Amino acid sequence: MTSCSDTGVVENTKTTAISVEEAHRLHGRAGVEFVDPRPAEARAATTGTIPGARHISIADIEADSLPPVFADRTIHVVTTCQAGPMASQAAEAFAKLGFANVSWIKGGTQAWVDAGFETT
């Protein structure tokens, strides 16, 4: 079941919104992949990128045009964007592909920066 909140965030029972603190605890762990679907110019003009995050557009996610590591649908995918709405859309796209463990960061990369965590 999918709905849209008043903030434009896609809400789905197959994806989980997580805090920036939880995302930071997951960062760098084996079996966890961070994905930022924003275009390069958007990342550069705003908050930058969480180190190690893969840059995969929502269109590529929806088309299942993913790097080989994503062949394993059991990995934990954590999506982010500047503030959260695009991350929730990307998370929804991963869930539709059959990924069982998909999260998106509430507040996005802006929350990551506000918490004092590094971006590139």
Task: Pick 9 or 45 by higher pLDDT.
Answer: 45
Q: Percent of the chain beyond pLDDT 90?
A: 87
46 within 8 A of 64, measured Cβ to Cβ: no
Tens of pLDDT, residue by residue over 45-58, are 999 999 999 999 99
Q: In this predicted structure, what is the pLDDT of residue 2? A: 36
Q: Is pLDDT above 50 for 106?
A: yes
pLDDT band at 84 (very low <50, low <70, confident <90, very high): confident
Question: Mean pLDDT throughout 9-37?
Answer: 88
Task: Tell me which CATH code domain 9-114 carries.
Answer: 3.40.250.10
Q: How far is CA 87 from the centre of its chain?
A: 5
pLDDT band at 3 (very low <50, low <70, confident <90, very high): very low
Where do the structural domains in the chain lie, given as residue ranges? 9-114
Pull the structure tokens for residue 45: 């003009």
Q: Which residues contact 112 (CB under 8 A, 6 or more apart)?
A: 20, 23, 24, 47, 50, 80, 105, 119
